A and B are shown apart, each in its own frame.
Chain A
Amino acid sequence: MELDERQKSDGGKEIVSFRLGEEEFGVEIMSVREIRGWSKATPLPHSPPYVRGVINLRGAVLPVIDLNQRFGEAPSDPSSRHVVIVVQVENAQFGLLVDAVSDILHVTQEDLQDTPDVATGETRAFIRHLVALDDRMIRLIALESIFTPMTAEAA
């Protein structure tokens, strides 16, 4: 309720910000279903390397994406301190393996900046906007480019 009103008033939105190494990222709170601790995933055969496998989310089978690896970095070495952000894109749900969740921020339309050209093509596809907050830079993720269920045969 409160959220809606604020969004209406200034065209802004709430984002959940999280950390991956030294960098800060964010996803729109409306896409986030829940945040949970890391638990061991069951690897999937013939999957892209950044898919850590599937975990049991109260009876649902949830694929978990190693976001670090998805961005072309080294795979994470998840511990119990790591966090999985469960997000929903259209009808599919998946988890994002990240180092830690920082906070929930309110950003306005003016705060959102386009991603500058310096970033490589792939990174630009993943990052929708940049948000400058004080001296922090938060990279707002385009979730649909991170992962979509494959209807075609994986192999």
Chain B
Amino acid sequence: MDPMEEIRQTFFTECEELLEALEAGLLSIHDGTHDEETVNVVFRAVHSIKGGAGAFELDALVRFAHGFETTLDEVRSGRLEPGEDVVATLLRSADVLSDLFAAYRDGAVPAEDTAQSLLVELSTLSGAPAPAPAAAPPADDGGFAPVPLALDLEAPAFEPVPLDLGGGDDADAADEAASPLRHYAIRFRPKKDLYRRGGEPTLLLRALDALGELDVAVTGIDAADPAALDPEEPCAEWLIGLKTAADRADIEEVFEFVSDDSDLSIEALLGLEEPQAPQAPQAQEAPASAAPAPEREAVPPPAEAQAEQAAPEPEAASASPAPSQSEGQSKPVVAPKATVRVDLDRVDRLINLVGELVINQAMLTQCVEDSGPMNREVATGLEEFHQLTREIQESVMAIRTQPVKPLLQRMSRIVRESASATGKSVRLRTEGEATEIDKTVLERLADPLTHMIRNAVDHGLESPEKRLEAGKSEEGTVRLTAAHRSGRVVIEVADDGAGINRERVRQIAVDKGLIAADAQLTENEIDNLLFMPGFSTAKEVSNLSGRGVGMDVVKKAIQALGGRIAITSSPGRGTTFSISLPLTLAVLDGMLVRIDDHTVVLPLTAIIETFKLQGGELHRLGQGGHVLSVRGEFVPLVDIGSELGFRDRVEDYEEAVILLIQTEEGVRAAFVADGIDDQQQVVIKGLEDNYGTIEGVAAATILGDGRIALILDADNLVERAALPPGETSAAA
């Protein structure tokens, strides 16, 4: 990849994270659960996006971020109270920012109309003049002063930077009380990789210029012997004096993308407090051991200060002029967790390999067991090996899992948009944001969840008038929760609306010919009509959840992920859709079941209990069918051996092993098998790529002895068994 493009991609990835942080912060401000740091985080996020966007000349993004930032600064400084309306505007601004970003990322032309009108709103809030496009720092090329070159051939190591501190008197400081100025000396020496990767110091300098007053000198261009110069090796070094209200983090951000490819030092200057600036280079040999603080009252001469002032306590020094300023620096910064970006393919390869390792470990154990009595050391070694493989497997799987937080956050935007489109007032409550789920599942969950949220706002919640009539608060609530429940992740979308109008649902189903007019349906069955293809309850196709895409599509998408969706509703109280998903698509806990000489795996989650069949529990029902009485409840008997075509239907089930199964829909069935071999975690191997899909079979796995066993799809088997027995009745 083109190096510039690579950096651009990095920026985009980081932008996504920043946008997430931004939204999370704003939401917590909205909910009133924020602290001062939250506002700072939000501010920094927008600022970083602006900075990065500037570097890539994404003008619309910069312009908007700038206006956004200005308003946020008002909030940060306490001049603007983040009330309901303000936060709503800020949230919408975050949406627009994310739209603009997405447009640039996808190479589209960003639509600026909404951005422009929001900018006006933002500027009204901040009280600043409506930001003209030209206000964007990187855009004002003309305003950037040419770099004064100061060649010094004698002192290549270091050079005093002429730093204009003329304005550093008390009057000036008072003017700037809101955001006091600080002075920094920045030494920046690019390495050759910086240029090789398309870095451009001019852009960085412009970004710095946007932060405050700049004084730049270049050194290191040693013209003594041009012939000796390595054209590949950069020799220029910039010495930059910066007078700015921004803090160190802002400066570091400017250099964020190039910090690996350059020598960089940023020193906060003691200038204002330093009474006698040592006149020259000696300063570097004598780090100021005397604390400069006592001389606070001394007013420095408006002279040149030392750039390379040894500054072991920059914080202490800069803290003095105004209290509000110290906050940014002295506050203990919570170090972000170190992370590594890894190509997903690599992780998947690792996961596959670990899968092999697990199988290999099981095979090895079996080989050793088969070869006779085991010596104790070997047995211990094998046991440790087993533990280790399992741990490795779990750790590797954990790499793929991610918290659902970003997904839930994205939904808050959907709620906002749906609410404003339908004229309803909706609050989204999210719970369980830390719940982790496989990345693939997470990604493929976004669309169905979006649809469900829209549905909840559009169809689930009543109009504000109707809510007031029903004695509810005008504002509807949509709850989005995620939780781990018995080895699966359960995500629920619940609204506090009117509940499903079952009469209407039934009528629509009859009108559309989905059910017979005289069909007797239970409440649950009526609710489930919503999942039938071609069902849509909206009277007119609204531009939200309409468009003929129904809940059936949602259901299909969830099923494709190995998940199930269920619906519960109570009139007047609301409707809850609940999705249950496997934690990962790669392994499952299964029970190894024997049928004749076949071994199959049943997912443990489907099995309620297992027992041996005793006489008297079995009752004939219909042609070749049986039901089993389990504590007074009759459940159909499913002979999975014959269902899978492994053998003919058995007549005598005496002594057979029964596995009591419950499907996601709550339907129970008793599976008949010859025995249970083991219970273990198995690696899921898809059959689709090389073979195709098989009824009743979800996937395959590899057993300890290297053989392949099929993983059964219990729900599908129960469904099939409920159909009139196809093969047998056809033969008869």
Contacts and interface: CB of A to CB of B under 8 A. Distances in A.
B689 interface: yes
A1 interface: no
Contacts of B694: 44-47, 154-155
Nearest to A155: B695
B356 A61 contact: no
Interface string A125-155: 0000000000000000000000001111111
A91 interface: yes
Nearest to A91: B689
A116 B702 CA distance: 44
Contacts of B693: 150-154
Nearest to B355: A59
Given A62-B690, A154-B695, A42 B708 contact: yes
A58 interface: yes
Contact of A92 (B644, B645, B690, B700): B690
A83 interface: no
B700 A46 contact: no
Contacts of A150: 691-693
A61 B707 contact: no
B721 to A, nearest CB: 13
A149 B694 CA distance: 11
Contacts of B689: 91-92, 149
A60 interface: yes
A30 B280 CA distance: 76
A51 B694 CA distance: 13
Interface string B613-656: 00000000000000000000000000000011110000000000
A53 B689 CA distance: 15
A154 B688 CA distance: 11
A122 B702 CA distance: 35
Contacts of A61: 685-687, 690-691, 700, 702, 708
B710 interface: yes
B573 interface: no
Nearest to B359: A59
Contact of B688 (A46, A53, A55, A149): A149
A26 interface: no
B691 A44 contact: yes
A151 B687 CA distance: 10
Interface in B674-711: 685-697, 700, 702, 706-710
Nearest to A154: B694
Contacts of B696: 45-46
A149 B688 CA distance: 7
Interface in A30-49: 40-47
Interface of B: 352, 355-356, 359, 598, 643-646, 685-697, 700, 702, 706-710
13 contacts: A42-B700, A42-B707, A43-B598, A45-B643, A45-B646, A45-B695, A59-B355, A59-B356, A59-B702, A61-B685, A61-B702, A94-B690, A154-B693
Q: In the A-B complex, list the 4 residue pairs whose CB atoms are closest, starting with the nearest.
A: A150-B692, A45-B644, A155-B695, A42-B708
Given A44-B691, A61-B685, 13 more contacts: A41-B708, A42-B709, A43-B646, A44-B694, A45-B644, A45-B695, A46-B645, A53-B708, A54-B687, A61-B687, A93-B690, A94-B690, A149-B689
